[in-house]
Amino acid sequence: MPIRRAADIRSSEITSKENYLNRREFIQNGAIAGGSLLAAAPAFGALVPTERREKLVDVGTSDFSTSEAINAYEDITTYNNYYEFGTQKDDPYRNAEDFEPHPWTIEVTGHAEKTGTFHLEDFVKPYALEERIYRMRCVEAWSMVIPWVGIPLADVIKHFQPTSNAKFVRFETLEDRRRMPGQRSRVLRWPYREGLTIAEATNPLTILAVGLYGEVLPNQNGAPIRLVVPWKYGFKGIKGIVKMSFVEKQPKTSWELAAPSEYGFFANVNPEVDHPRWSQARERRIGAGLFTPKQPTLMFNGYGEHVAHLYAGLDLRRNF
């Protein structure tokens, strides 16, 4: 997959939603969030508004963005896997409408010099926001291209100063059966758990997203903060993160616990390894229509030049 600077992408190459934000206009005009002026200077770090559909300001571009056409906003926000709000693709869009993701705290534990519980604003504040236009692969034969807004996870990890004992980063989502009706079912063991190796977590492609399409992250997409790992299948992108732990042993993840023969820890996009119930060799873009021919699935979702070295010597058929 071709990778180039997002700033070099022609407007004719992307699918923009109505009234898609103009960052220069936002920076010039400023924006009000929560009764206070958002700082435009990167030195003040990122501040995330609390109102839904609120525009994010001072968002930089990324060298890692793809030049592929962006999916429509409606595609991205109405076709979701978020089992905390239901197992059907449109359940999160319908059932997360009244979910209130503020206030929000994130607990940091484990083998690190800095640990504790942090308000989301303090957790995100030291970092500058970036727009990352990433090609994302769903679990089945579907894909999307999504304009995420987030912060590099590597910067966050560096801030907390993990020790040499930290080999993996484990994440947990919120467990609240009253606010997340999907957790009343036994489809998964709650809370939702995910994990990455330290090397994967500190790869420049990995981000913690707090927005998409230049706006605050919608509830159904994982508000207020979620993981985005573009060379892996979508289920690795844990949503509604409330805990991040630096651990020594490889953590068990939710889908690995639920169906170990189908979902492994690594979850790398590998067209040569079929899922037991479907082929992963080809895919179709969400919104393209059922009569649109499928396209070949790319190894590591097309990000091999950035991540293949992480798995040197590892059998990717056994470590799926």
3-state SS track over the chain:
CCECCHHHCCHHHCCCCCCCCCHHHHHHHCCEECCEECCCCHHHCCCCCCCCCCECCCCECCCCCECCCCCCHHHHHHCCCCHHHCCCCCHHHHHCCCCCCCCCEEEEEECECCCEEEEHHHHHCCCCCEEEEEEEECCCCEEEEEEEEEEEHHHHHHHHCECCCCCEEEEEECCCCCCCHHHHCCCCCCCCEEEEEHHHHCCCCCEEEEEECCEECCHHHCCCCEEECCCEEHHHCCCCEEEEEEECCCCCCHHHHHCCCCCCCCCECCCCCCECCECCCEEEECCCCCCCCCEECCHHHHCHHHHHHHHCCCCCCCCC
pLDDT of residue 138: 85
Q: How many CB atoms lie within 10 A of CB 107?
A: 14
CATH 1.20.120.50 describes domain 6-263: no
Parse the chain into domains and list their residue ranges: 6-263
Q: What is the pLDDT of residue 32?
A: 30
Supply the pTM of this predicted model: 0.86
Closest alpha carbon to 194 in 96, 78, 297, 81: 81
Residue 141: what pLDDT? Answer: 86
Q: Are 147 and 131 in contact (CB under 8 A)?
A: yes
- Return d(Cα 261, Cα 18) in angstroms, integer: 43
User: Could you list the pLDDT tens digit for every one of the 320 residues in the chain?
Assistant: 444 443 444 433 444 444 344 433 333 333 333 333 223 334 357 888 889 999 999 999 999 999 999 999 999 999 999 999 999 999 999 999 999 999 999 999 999 999 999 999 999 999 999 999 999 998 778 999 999 999 999 999 999 999 999 999 999 999 999 999 999 999 999 999 999 999 999 999 999 999 999 999 999 999 999 999 999 999 999 999 999 999 999 999 999 999 999 999 999 999 999 989 989 999 999 988 888 999 999 999 999 999 999 999 999 999 99
Burial 66-103 (b: 16+ CB within 10 A, else e): bbbbbbbbebbbbbbbbbbbbeeeebbbebbeebebee
Q: With the C-alpha atoms ordered 206, 151, 217, 5, is the resulting torsion angle positive or negative?
A: negative
- Written as six digits, the tokens of 27 are 């920076």
The pLDDT assigned to 33 comes to 34
Q: Which residues contact 206 (CB under 8 A, 6 or more apart)?
A: 152, 153, 154, 196, 200, 227, 228, 229
